[in-house]
Amino acid sequence: MERIPARRSVAVRVARGQRVEVVNTHGQQVVDTWAFATGDPAEWMSMEHSRVHMGRLSPRVGDSLVTNRRRAILTLVEDTSGGVHDTLLAACDRYRYQLLGATEPHDNCTDNLHAALAAEGIALAATPSPLNLFEHTALAADGALAIEPPVATPGSHVTLGAEMDALLVFSACPQDLVPTNGAGLTPTDAHYRLVR
């Protein structure tokens, strides 16, 4: 098992056909997830294109997420976490924490993404909206959204299958001002491993 350090990100290269297991080690940690086509990082996994493709808000086992060119890039092949994930909310960023009252610089998933990409020699002019694994966005009948603690249990996981060669970035979300990462407001490590 490889570590996704609390508040930090990792980049993982996968080949088509490989699978990655993402483990919610402590059970309340959201993992912001991005995927980019190898060789052309301007082709990325897109939540707005994936919702059209899936015909639903959020992936279920068997659903594929697609890129901004509508090609399958990842498939959710297994999910022991309760199946609650978010495709609606932007990655946290410096502006989010400023608006929440932070007066000091705060770790954030947007900077984590760009740091992980920079380490791979990639500069990206935009921040794609992430697949927020394990994030529990409660949706009321009138369309109101609320961020709730994850339903995932410790050690539960999702398995993502690569539909093309891709660069993945996982960020263990540093959110500690709202209950994205549980009522305890305490970001923790998560883990991943290449299954095959």
The three-state secondary structure class of 41 is strand
DSSP conformation class of 91: P
Does residue number 72 form part of the binding site for a copy of itself (CB under 8 A)? no
**Which are the contacts of 135, defined by CB distance < 8 A and separation ≥ 6?**
30, 84, 85, 86, 89, 147, 150, 173, 180
Q: Which listed residue (3, 16, 40, 48) binds a copy of itself by CB under 8 A?
A: 48
Query: Quick one: 1 or 139, whose CB is closer to a copy of itself?
Result: 139
Residues near a copy of itself (CB under 8 A), total:
33
Does residue number 15 form part of the binding site for a copy of itself (CB under 8 A)? no
Question: Which residues sit opposite 14 in a β-bridge?
Answer: 166
- The two tokens of residue 77 are 């092949």
**Distance from CA of residue 123 to its chain's centroid?**
19
Does residue number 3 form part of the binding site for a copy of itself (CB under 8 A)? no
Does residue number 42 form part of the binding site for a copy of itself (CB under 8 A)? yes
**Which are the contacts of 107, defined by CB distance < 8 A and separation ≥ 6?**
7, 8, 174
Query: Quick one: 25 or 132, whose CB is closer to a copy of itself?
Result: 132
First vs last C-alpha separation in the chain: 13
Does residue number 40 form part of the binding site for a copy of itself (CB under 8 A)? no
Alpha-carbon distance of 77 to 129, in angstroms, equals 21
Does residue number 49 form part of the binding site for a copy of itself (CB under 8 A)? yes
Q: Which listed residue (8, 64, 80, 90) binds a copy of itself by CB under 8 A?
A: 90
Stretch that binds a copy of itself, among 72-80, 83-91, 112-120, 166-174 (CB under 8 A): 83-91
Query: Quick one: 25 or 112, whose CB is closer to a copy of itself?
Result: 112
Alpha-carbon distance of 61 to 158, in angstroms, equals 9
Which residue ranges make up the site for a copy of itself (CB under 8 A)? 42, 46-49, 51-52, 55-58, 68-71, 88-90, 93, 95-96, 99, 125-127, 129, 139, 141-146
